[in-house]
Amino acid sequence: MKKKILVIVGPTASGKSALAVRLAKKFNGEIISADSRQVYKGLNIGTGKITRKDMRGVPHYLLDIADPQKQFSASDYKKLAEEKVRYIVQKGKLPIVVGGTGFYIDVLTGAVSLPDVPPNKFLRKKLEKESAERLFIMLLKKNRERALAIGPHNKVRLIRALEIIEKIGRIPPLGSPTSKYSFIFIGLKPDNLDERIRERLIMRLPSIIREANKLNKRKVLSYKRMHELGLEYRYVAMYLQNKLNKLDMFNKLNTEIRRYAKRQMTWFKRNKGIVWFKPERYQDIEKNIKSKL
């Protein structure tokens, strides 16, 4: 029989991290993060990274592993995540993959293959001169589905997608997962997601501002790099540069995070193997997992 891997997905602010810890305690598991920004060292509050206290002694992997000044790719993630899965399985424990970066999860589970396309420095230099919004429009014309999944602000991923299309004429489509592991997919979908996003932003925003200001003053992150990282860091950087007042920053952030959550859900809905639950239905979630382990 194939070894089982539990995968917990859902939009931002849906309660994935807390659920993963609770299930790890119940089913003797260890957690692998699948978040494209939480891999970076020092980006803690702005990315919603779980605290040591909230981990409750459960080992977590692929947090704080990358230099925030450098790019961390999906292929980097796949290699490291596969190593951690093997390590956890060898220990006789249940790997629990948790996160909101659907592309990372699809790459790990084999639902999408990464094309062997090396960087095209000439093309990248040319595309770098374009705005993220212009790159988004270019990708929309070539591959609408991937463009909508990436969104109009992530310049790095937009350039990579256009680079792949330039080389092989297409983006590899999602397919059927092929892996030596068997995956149990659980999704969290709160009824009050917009309210949860707003309340979490109100609570965290002062700390995010302090974190971003400290990262910039210590030359860990330039304002340009914050803009590339998106969401909280992009709009807080604009506030710190006096390009936005505090109220506008909050309103824009609240809107953009909600849009991001919708893009996450659009991505996850492609996977018909995900069983969706409301976060408060813990007993039902536990029962579902127990029946499949």
Average pLDDT (154-177) is 78
CATH number among 3.40.50, 1.10.287, 1.10.510, 1.10.20, domain 115-171: 1.10.20
175 pLDDT more than 60: no
Tell me what pLDDT residue 156 has: 82
CA distance 178 to 165: 24
**pLDDT tens string 191-206:** 999 999 999 999 999 9
Tell me what pLDDT residue 178 has: 53
> How far is CA 93 from its chain centroid?
24
Tell me what pLDDT residue 188 has: 98
Give the predicted TM-score (pTM) of the model.
0.87
CA distance 35 to 63: 8
Tell me what pLDDT residue 168 has: 83
Rg (CA), the chain: 19
177 pLDDT more than 70: no
110 pLDDT more than 90: no
**pLDDT tens string 217-231:** 999 999 999 998 989
Cβ–Cβ < 8 Å for 76, 103: no
Average pLDDT (139-165) is 86
**pLDDT tens string 243-282:** 999 999 999 999 999 999 999 999 999 899 999 999 999 9
Tell me what pLDDT residue 275 has: 98
Tell me what pLDDT residue 24 has: 98
Q: Is the dihedral of CA 24, 25, 29, 31 positive or negative?
A: positive
Q: What confidence category does residue 53 fall into, taking pLDDT thresholds of 50, 70 and 90? A: very high
Q: What confidence category does residue 173 fall into, taking pLDDT thresholds of 50, 70 and 90? A: low
Tell me what pLDDT residue 170 has: 75
DSSP H or E stretch at residue 231: helix 231-240
